[in-house]
């Protein structure tokens, strides 16, 4: 019976969570530009009220400039965060399926990075077909940065856990 990262429950959980994140990202990308703006606009409004106490007294052009700046940052952070979570889950999923066969974790980290970045490319291409949306190379770059951060965090978690589990590549064997 397989234990640790290759346990059937771990494989099922990492696979399902990875797929769920991919579906979530796909659904966000299906929103029209107006719907997407409303979703992130709620958070932007809250941040504006915290960071710009005199916002209501600004003239409309200044308010729009502040809103646009905050909204841009929120949207890029959302891209980075959702793809960081995806990179993390892809890395854990790869470990559950192939970790026992791979001698170097760097290979799985790079494969995870490539897979997540490839998904980001298809996501941006998908947005070209959605009303008011566009595919942005800059978004792919932000997404790729998130994937890389997530894949590295996943690798660090795997190494940390493996050090504590006897019989894993980084852990001590039961006889030691």
pLDDT computed for residue 170 by the predictor: 57
Q: What is the pTM of this model?
A: 0.86
Q: What is the pLDDT along the chain (176 residues), one digit of tens a residue?
A: 566 888 999 999 999 999 999 999 999 999 988 888 888 888 998 999 899 999 999 999 999 999 999 999 999 999 999 999 999 999 999 999 998 877 778 999 999 999 999 999 999 999 988 888 888 999 999 999 999 999 999 999 999 998 887 665 555 443 33
pLDDT computed for residue 171 by the predictor: 55
CA–CA distance, 30 with 32 (Å, rounded to integer)? 6
Compute the CA torsion angle 64, 70, 73, 76 (nearest 10 deg): -70
pLDDT computed for residue 8 by the predictor: 93
CA–CA distance, 8 with 12 (Å, rounded to integer)? 6
pLDDT computed for residue 116 by the predictor: 98
CA–CA distance, 75 with 72 (Å, rounded to integer)? 5
CA–CA distance, 16 with 22 (Å, rounded to integer)? 10
Q: CA triplet 115, 31, 70: central angle to 5 degrees?
A: 85
DSSP 8-state symbol, 172: P
CA–CA distance, 147 with 120 (Å, rounded to integer)? 9
CA–CA distance, 57 with 38 (Å, rounded to integer)? 23
Q: CA triplet 148, 162, 104: central angle to 5 degrees?
A: 55
CA–CA distance, 15 with 38 (Å, rounded to integer)? 31
């Amino acid at each position: 019976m397989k234990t640790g990262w290759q346990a059937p429950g771990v494989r099922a959980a990492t696979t399902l969570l990875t797929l769920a994140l991919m579906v979530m990202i796909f659904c966000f990308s299906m929103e029209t530009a107006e719907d997407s703006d409303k979703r992130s606009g709620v958070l932007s409004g809250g941040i504006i009220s915290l960071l710009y106490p005199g916002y209501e007294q600004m003239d409309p052009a200044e308010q729009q400039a502040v809103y646009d700046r905050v909204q841009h940052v929120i949207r890029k952070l959302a891209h980075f965060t959702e793809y960081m979570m995806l990179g993390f889950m892809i890395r854990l999923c790869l470990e559950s399926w192939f970790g026992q066969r791979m001698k170097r974790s760097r290979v799985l980290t790079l494969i995870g990075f490539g897979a997540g970045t490839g998904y980001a490319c298809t996501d941006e291409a998908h947005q070209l077909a959605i009303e008011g949306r566009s595919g942005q190379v800059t978004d792919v770059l932000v997404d790729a940065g998130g994937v890389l951060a997530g894949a590295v965090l996943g690798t660090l978690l795997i190494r940390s856990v493996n050090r504590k589990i006897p019989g894993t590549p980084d852990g001590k064997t039961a006889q030691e």
